[in-house]
A and B are shown apart, each in its own frame.
Chain A
Amino acid sequence: MSEPTSFYAQSPTPGEVSARFPDLHPAFEKTAAVAEAHRCLYCFDAPCMSACPTHIDVPKFIKKIATGNLEGSAKTILDANILGASCSRACPVDVLCEGACVMHRYNKQPIEIGRLQRFAMDALHESGAPLPFNPGPDTGKRVALIGGGPASLACAAELRRRGIAADIYDARPLPGGLNTYGIAEYKLPLAESLREIDLLSQLGVEFHFNTTVDAVKLAELESSYDAVFLGMGLGAIHKLGLTGEDMPGVTNALDYIAGYKSGAITTAPAKVAVIGAGNTAIDAANAAVRLGATEVTMVYRRGPEQMSAFSFEYDHAKQEGVQFLWHTVTTSLKGSGKLEALELAKLETTADGSLVPVKGSEFTLPVDLIVLAIGQATHTEFLSGDKVKLERGRILIDRATGQTSNPRYFAGGDCTNGGREVVDAVADGKRAGIGIAASLTTSAGAPGPDSRTRASTTVSASGEQK
């Protein structure tokens, strides 16, 4: 059942940690927000809206900031993206809305869409107002959602707006999944993720925490709900496969980030190595710097051209003082009782494209902590048999409805797309919520969201009916 107190009030992040992770992109002051909003050209069928996986009507919400209609602005955002506050902070806007802004082609700075979105959402949160949507009239239908991350939250919101009960099952003690536990604190504080979810529980979304769904539990849910949404994300981070990986001083990026955000980790040792060069690896490396490490080194098998982190993330890491060892592989972990050093070797690319160690290039890097960030495995073992069709561990879905090969199962987020952004999970969850509602309804047609949300005469993103 829902917690009687707010999730926000239960935020475990210690103040000393928060103080080390101030906002990377600070909030707009009001006059600056209005001035920035006036800069927006108010494009028609705007590229920023198309680039946003949730298709937030960006010019519409920005013009509402310009006119001082902040309530309407927040509603425009939430109508398309129920986690509009989190996304405003966590989204890689350079490759999404702001990357698509026409101002780039006009030799001007793109509109600061992310910060404007945060301004509108912060205003809503500060006002103490509830979500500007009512739950739909009760249909008697019930849906179980596995995993409490962005995909399930977005799906649950669509279901509640259509009068369908939404019960979220999550293994952790607090909701939000990676949105709460996995995003660098300077981008999205854990407490802010929880504050947004508080509004969702007011919409009637039910949460069941500390509940691991295995094959048995899944069978139980399947028999007692009308449909199941799979939004459990990915599994554990891959291991190196070297001896000593279980000794103290070896961790992975997800545990490390969740650890400092929830207060289990408050300091870092002097020498930290991060293995991998993705966005999560950079979040972990920057966190080690903020937590007090004096030498943070990222170790990657290929060069900077091949790193999967966005270039602005790479730039950020350089600014934080992170060092990089390119074309380098970890060959062994050294230490007695606890990790003391890494044995590394340089790699070169052979004619057939494979990477091989360069003879005689071996060297030792003394470290106190190694953080693995070399990608996550899938987490679908509990879907025993051919409950739903998988492809390389990912659940196959109809992108428009989120429906899997099993008509009672829907899915979205990282477990279907291999690990993208919060906003992609929200978009998946939203489409699936609408898809589930359609599938649970007879020929009378899918129930629409409640009438208060349909006041606008324009077609809204969530208004698309299947």
Chain B
Amino acid sequence: MPTLETTFAGIKCLNPFWLASAPPTNCGEQIMRAFDAGWGGAVWKTIGAPITNVSSRYSSIDYNGVKMMGFNNIELISDRPTQTNLDEIAEVKRRYPKHVVIASLMVESNRESWHDMVARAEDAGADGLELNFGCPHGMSERGMGSAVGQVPEYCQQITEWVKEKARTPVIVKLTPNISDIRIPARAAKRAKADAVSAINTINSITGINLDTLQPNPMVDGKSSHGGYCGPAVKPIALNMVQQVNSDYIDGDPIPMSGIGGIGTWQDAAEFILLGSGTVQVCTAAMHYGYRIVEDMGDGLLSWMRKKGYETIDDFRGLSLPNVREWKNLNLNYRVVAEIHADKCIGCQLCYTACWDGAHQCIHMDRTEGTAITFAGTDPRYAMHQANPHNMPTPDQRFAQSIKAISTTPIPKLDLDNLGELGPYATPINRIPRVDEDECVGCNLCSLVCPVPDCITMERRDDPTIPAQTWAERVAAGVVPTGVSDANHGNPNHQ
């Protein structure tokens, strides 16, 4: 039986699911309910310098009727008295000794303040410390949060101060609001941090109210850039997590607690496959409550069982070798789109997407018994010529359609009617055809197709041609020197 129990930077965890430092971890009462729901750990809402919050604080963007695809906030760190937070940490640890409580800290940038706060948090019983070098709003204007994370020297200096004092593992939380997240991660490594966590939220304006012309979230008619998070940021976070976890400068990668748009077991698995030892969740818990952790654990265990993984470490980082620089991708690999006519519903989204957004190689010319041209057999192809076969454009097809005369089928009047009164089957002339010679294998049609497995990408490369990367071509001196060079353009078109 697989287990979710794991050890992160020396901290024993019942499972890899932690609540991130944020409103869901504001107080002990919340965190104890979260532990009851199944969360393995919680990073306490950042404790430190006294602050005052604004009202309102959160905003979000919806997508096609789905709420909160992206979320942002301009809330600062904990607005509760430090001693209250510390007392509650002690209380939680007394009642939930096996659950992980990490104290997130942010104080003024001087050694004494950090030493003092580290000692108090550890005395309260925290299992580890997370240094908030990521908060992008408000605190950064006062020289804290992302103002530290954006300057590697500050990041290193403060981490060193903390490490002088700390007895528990120190996690440095990184900001994504920087051109290369590996730079502050290296600073953390140089300062002997025990782990990093990434990403914090991204600078954002979620939208403008079109009635009032005021941005969201609105505070007395004004707004300020807030930290962006939620499902929309996951791809950005995965990339940054991979970058840090594949970076060997200034030492081997250190443990990573992955953060950014995680809400399901699949999200968690992806962060772990890119090297995360634990994952932290906030927006999804703010949206649906602590209960989401049940399926995160259940689903992850089920997937682990199917894949044969016993522990988190069994699959942690397995996808890292599959992320490469572009120059190390095989230029001789080739796929083309295949539309499975039996599944096609005739929406023609692939057709319009290919014409307007890709390479004009899907056509509406299928009739019974159409011969499909196979790759490399169509002599008409001329490189870089738009629409080389002079196929009708989507606009021309549309103009034909609206000229057609159709009538309501009335059985009594339509003696030649075949009895068809809807719902109708997909007519063959609505099932698109891929011109394999033209298809560059971009995936777009398969991405827009609403029907699962209707458009698949099928491998069509020549088995006699060995794999070759750009780097290898550069080394061999076979790079294009002009646009008419045979090595220029798309490998499908050779």
Residues in chain A within 8 A of chain B (CB atoms)? 34-35, 38, 41-47, 49-53, 55, 66, 91-92, 94-96, 98-106, 110, 278, 308, 310-311, 399-400, 417-421, 423-424, 427, 431, 458-459, 461, 464
- In angstroms, how far is the closest chain B Cβ from the Cβ of A413? 12
Nearest chain B residue, comparing its CB with the CB of A42: B349
Judging by beta carbons under 8 Å apart, are A43 and B413 in contact? no
Judging by beta carbons under 8 Å apart, are A461 and B402 in contact? yes
Against A, the Cβ 8 Å flags (1 = close, 0 = not) of B367-409 are 0000000000000000000000000001101110111111111
Asked whether any CB of chain A lies closer than 8 Å to the CB of B332, the reply is no
Nearest chain B residue, comparing its CB with the CB of A91: B408
Ordered nearest first, which 9 A-B pairs have the shortest CB separation? A99-B422, A104-B423, A308-B412, A44-B352, A38-B65, A44-B348, A105-B345, A102-B345, A43-B347
Asked whether any CB of chain A lies closer than 8 Å to the CB of B430, the reply is yes
Whole-angstrom CA separation of A104 from B346 in the bound complex: 11
Judging by beta carbons under 8 Å apart, are B408 and A47 in contact? no
Nearest chain A residue, comparing its CB with the CB of B355: A44
Asked whether any CB of chain A lies closer than 8 Å to the CB of B426, the reply is yes
Nearest chain B residue, comparing its CB with the CB of A36: B65
Mark out the residues of chain B between 344 and 363 whose CB falls within 8 Å of any chain A CB in the assembled complex.
345-349, 351-352
Asked whether any CB of chain A lies closer than 8 Å to the CB of B421, the reply is yes
- In angstroms, how far is the closest chain A Cβ from the Cβ of B101? 41
The contact size tier of chain B is: 35 or more
Whole-angstrom CA separation of A49 from B347 in the bound complex: 12
Asked whether any CB of chain A lies closer than 8 Å to the CB of B288, the reply is no
- In angstroms, how far is the closest chain B Cβ from the Cβ of A404? 16
Q: Counting chain A CB atoms within 10 Å of each CB, which of B352, B399, B401, B426 scores highest?
A: B401
Asked whether any CB of chain A lies closer than 8 Å to the CB of B451, the reply is yes
> Can you list 15 A-B pairs, Cβ within 8 angstroms, ordered by A?
A41-B349, A45-B401, A49-B402, A50-B401, A55-B401, A55-B402, A96-B408, A99-B423, A99-B424, A102-B426, A103-B345, A104-B422, A310-B421, A420-B413, A424-B407
Nearest chain B residue, comparing its CB with the CB of A310: B421
- Beyond A95-B408, A105-B426, A308-B412, whether A464 also contacts B348 by CB under 8 A is no
Judging by beta carbons under 8 Å apart, are A424 and B430 in contact? no
- In angstroms, how far is the closest chain A Cβ from the Cβ of B435? 18
Residues in chain B within 8 A of chain A (CB atoms)? 64-65, 345-349, 351-352, 364, 394-395, 397-399, 401-413, 421-426, 430, 450-451
Nearest chain A residue, comparing its CB with the CB of B423: A104
Whole-angstrom CA separation of A466 from B276 in the bound complex: 66
- In angstroms, how far is the closest chain A Cβ from the Cβ of B470? 36
Q: Which residues of B contact A49 (CB under 8 A)?
A: 401-402
Whole-angstrom CA separation of A459 from B408 in the bound complex: 23
Judging by beta carbons under 8 Å apart, are B65 and A104 in contact? no
Of A105, A419, A431, A464, the residue contacting B346 (CB under 8 A) is A105
Q: Which residues of A contact B398 (CB under 8 A)?
A: 44-45, 458-459
Judging by beta carbons under 8 Å apart, are A47 and B346 in contact? yes
Whole-angstrom CA separation of A204 from B360 in the bound complex: 46
- In angstroms, how far is the closest chain A Cβ from the Cβ of B412? 4
Judging by beta carbons under 8 Å apart, are A45 and B407 in contact? no
Nearest chain A residue, comparing its CB with the CB of B404: A50
Whole-angstrom CA separation of A55 from B421 in the bound complex: 18
- Beyond A44-B394, A45-B394, A461-B402, whether A311 also contacts B346 by CB under 8 A is no
Nearest chain A residue, comparing its CB with the CB of B353: A44
Q: Counting chain A CB atoms within 10 Å of each CB, which of B397, B398, B403, B406 scores highest?
A: B406
- Beyond A44-B347, A44-B348, A53-B407, whether A99 also contacts B401 by CB under 8 A is no
Q: Counting chain B CB atoms within 10 Å of each CB, which of A47, A51, A423, A431 scores highest?
A: A47
Q: Which residues of A contact B394 (CB under 8 A)?
A: 44-45
Q: Which residues of B contact A423 (CB under 8 A)?
A: 408
Nearest chain B residue, comparing its CB with the CB of A418: B413
Q: Which residues of A contact B397 (CB under 8 A)?
A: 45
Whole-angstrom CA separation of A66 from B399 in the bound complex: 25
Whole-angstrom CA separation of A310 from B411 in the bound complex: 9
Of B345, B346, B395, B413, the residue contacting A417 (CB under 8 A) is B413
Q: Counting chain B CB atoms within 10 Å of each CB, which of A44, A51, A461, A464 scores highest?
A: A44
Judging by beta carbons under 8 Å apart, are B423 and A110 in contact? yes
Of A96, A106, A400, A419, the residue contacting B451 (CB under 8 A) is A106
Judging by beta carbons under 8 Å apart, are A399 and B345 in contact? no
Nearest chain B residue, comparing its CB with the CB of A459: B399
Nearest chain A residue, comparing its CB with the CB of B348: A44
Q: Which residues of B contact A99 (CB under 8 A)?
A: 421-424
Known: A102-B347, A308-B410; 7 extra A-B contacts, CB below 8 A, are A34-B65, A35-B65, A53-B407, A53-B408, A104-B422, A419-B410, A424-B408
Judging by beta carbons under 8 Å apart, are B405 and A420 in contact? no
Judging by beta carbons under 8 Å apart, are A94 and B422 in contact? yes
Q: Counting chain A CB atoms within 10 Å of each CB, which of B364, B412, B426 scores highest?
A: B412
Q: Which residues of A contact B404 (CB under 8 A)?
A: 50, 55
Nearest chain A residue, comparing its CB with the CB of B395: A459
Whole-angstrom CA separation of A223 from B348 in the bound complex: 51
Q: Which residues of A contact B451 (CB under 8 A)?
A: 106
Q: Which residues of B contact A399 (CB under 8 A)?
A: 405
Q: Which residues of B contact A42 (CB under 8 A)?
A: 349
Nearest chain B residue, comparing its CB with the CB of A99: B422
- Beyond A42-B349, A44-B349, A99-B421, whether A52 also contacts B406 by CB under 8 A is yes
Nearest chain B residue, comparing its CB with the CB of A464: B403
Nearest chain B residue, comparing its CB with the CB of A35: B65
Whole-angstrom CA separation of A55 from B349 in the bound complex: 19
Whole-angstrom CA separation of A251 from B323 in the bound complex: 81
Whole-angstrom CA separation of A99 from B348 in the bound complex: 17
Q: Which residues of B contact A424 (CB under 8 A)?
A: 407-408
Whole-angstrom CA separation of A419 from B425 in the bound complex: 27
Nearest chain B residue, comparing its CB with the CB of A98: B422
Nearest chain B residue, comparing its CB with the CB of A279: B410
Judging by beta carbons under 8 Å apart, are B408 and A43 in contact? no
Nearest chain B residue, comparing its CB with the CB of A457: B395
Q: Which residues of A contact B424 (CB under 8 A)?
A: 47, 51, 99-100, 104
Whole-angstrom CA separation of A52 from B407 in the bound complex: 8
Whole-angstrom CA separation of A35 from B349 in the bound complex: 20
Nearest chain B residue, comparing its CB with the CB of A50: B401
Whole-angstrom CA separation of A66 from B402 in the bound complex: 24
Nearest chain B residue, comparing its CB with the CB of A417: B407
Whole-angstrom CA separation of A96 from B64 in the bound complex: 27
Judging by beta carbons under 8 Å apart, are B348 and A66 in contact? no
Nearest chain B residue, comparing its CB with the CB of A38: B65
Judging by beta carbons under 8 Å apart, are B421 and A47 in contact? no
Nearest chain A residue, comparing its CB with the CB of B432: A44
Whole-angstrom CA separation of A46 from B398 in the bound complex: 9
Whole-angstrom CA separation of A399 from B421 in the bound complex: 22
Nearest chain A residue, comparing its CB with the CB of B408: A421
Q: Which residues of A contact B352 (CB under 8 A)?
A: 44
Whole-angstrom CA separation of A52 from B412 in the bound complex: 19
Whole-angstrom CA separation of A420 from B408 in the bound complex: 7
Q: Which residues of B contact A419 (CB under 8 A)?
A: 410, 413
Judging by beta carbons under 8 Å apart, are B412 and A102 in contact? no
Judging by beta carbons under 8 Å apart, are A101 and B423 in contact? yes
Judging by beta carbons under 8 Å apart, are B410 and A45 in contact? no
Q: Counting chain A CB atoms within 10 Å of each CB, which of B346, B347, B403, B451 scores highest?
A: B347
Judging by beta carbons under 8 Å apart, are B345 and A278 in contact? no
Of B351, B405, B408, the residue contacting A92 (CB under 8 A) is B408
Judging by beta carbons under 8 Å apart, are B430 and A400 in contact? no
Whole-angstrom CA separation of A99 from B409 in the bound complex: 11
Judging by beta carbons under 8 Å apart, are B408 and A66 in contact? no
